[in-house]
Structure formats: C-alpha cells, structure tokens
Amino acid sequence: MTSNDTSRAAAAWLETPLGRYLLAREQPYFDRTVADIFGYNALQLGVPSLDLLRGSRIPYRLRIDASGPVGLRADFRDLAVASNSIDLVVLPHVLEFTDNPHQVLREVARVLLPEAHVVIACFNPWSLWGFRRALGRKANYPWNGRFINLPRLKDWLTLLGLEITGGQMGCYVPPSATEKWLARFAFMDAAGDRWWPIAGGVYFLQAVKRVRGLRLILPRWTDRLAPAKSLAPAPKKVARPEEALTARNSVTGDS
C-alpha cells in the first residue's frame, strides 16, 4: 500500500466506531503534550485529515504527507527540511505503515534541533489489537500495518540520540467494530492502567534529541613559559668603600 493509499484508508477508518474511539483518546494526549513544548517550527507527519498540533503554541505548524490537505508533500524517508531546524515533530501511526521505519526516525532526528521533541503514537502488537491483527484479515487499515514492539522502538530512539522523557498506554478495549460492544467494554479502559498496563492497543512516546557537548581541552600554556630572568643589579659608583655595602644592601633589600 502506498503512502497515498494509507492516508486515505486512515481517514476513512477514523470515521468508523473503532476509529472514533481511538481518536477520542489520541487527540487529548497530543493536545496536552504539545501544549508544553515551545519553539518556532513544528511538523506533523502523516494523517493529514487530523490536526494533532492544534494545542501547540508554536507559531509555524506544518502537516506533511504524500497527498491530501498538507503544507508540504514529501516522502517521510527523505524530508525536504533543513537539518537542525524543527522544534517539534509528531508521528501519528506513521512507523507501522512504512517499509523503513528506522529511516523515518533518522530523518526526524536529523531535522530536530538539539533539545527538540518528537511525539509518537503506535499500535501495540502485545495487546488485544495486536491479537486481532495476528489472527484476522490484514488487507484493511490498520490491520495491514506492521505493529512495532515498544522495546524495539525504544532501542531505535536511543541509538539515534533521542532520549525518552514520557509515555502512556491507551485503548484497552477489544477492537470491536460496533459502538455497542465498545461501550460494553468501556470499563477496561478505567482498569487497564492498573491491571494490565502493557496491554493497551496503542502506546505513546515522547523523546528529546540530546546532543552531548564537547569540551575542548587546551594545553596549559602558562606552565610552558620560560621563567623570568633574574637581573643582576647594576654596580653603583661610590666615593668611599663604606658606601659600597650600603648601596648593595639597598638593591638586594638586605638590612
């Protein structure tokens, strides 16, 4: 499935009962998280039908995808964005639907400024949603994606110098196609964080780009300076021999 097809399929699926259920939990998380991140430039990669940067106070916000209502059309694996220029990037279910998620993360790390943020949402394979994908038909969104294990994604971020600073699980109910059954299992969302915290259908991660500072060590030039020369006092002409001792003592400081 191409990026164009994925975007259209995602937009259509978000109109279904399960898609609305997911959005009702993801949108508040993004709104809360991006509200506390400051800067000048922010990017949203994927799902252009949604505005996941609406809660941000960053003045310049841009949605990027291969098609749709976007500010820039680009391949996520090769962003036409300057390096070290972005303060915030959000990735809503992009990594599961690309053939090279690690390259997408490399591009994100490249465009981020030092101490800038990335916020990621991914489907969790170790959940009822992942179980549904493993046993069911995989032709339709989102079950045709390659769900990524949370520990693996954490390793990828660490290798790219992205330090994880926050995260959350969500969507604990079985992925039912009807509102009736979603409502019937709603109690699982309230109990999920306490009883099965790693089994949410979706997980969120927030990370910061860390750049280790370099300290330039210079040689201690002062230790290598030649010692000051001791100058001998110039002789004084004296009229009488007893004055020679007085003159010498006045130069050397002897009393």
The one-letter amino acid at 66? A
pLDDT, tens digit, 9 for 90 and up, residues 149-169: 999 999 999 999 999 999 999
Partners of 62 in the beta sheet? 43
Residue pair 109/162 in contact by the 8 Å Cβ criterion: yes
Among candidate residues 85, 74, 144, 159, the one with its CA nearest the CA of residue 116: 85
CA 97 distance to own-chain centroid: 19
Can you list the residues of the chain whose pLDDT is less than 50?
Answer: 214
What was the pLDDT predicted at 214? 46
82 CB-near residues (< 8 Å, 6+ apart): 111
Beta strands across the sheet bearing 72-73: 72-73, 60-65, 41-45, 86-92, 112-123, 202-209, 162-170
Domain locations in the chain as residue ranges? 3-209
pLDDT score for 5: 79
Phi, psi values for residue 108, rounded to 5°: -60, -45
* CATH class of segment(s) 3-209: alpha beta
Rounded CA-CA distance 226/176 in Å is 84
Contact criterion met (CB below 8 Å) for 156 and 207: no
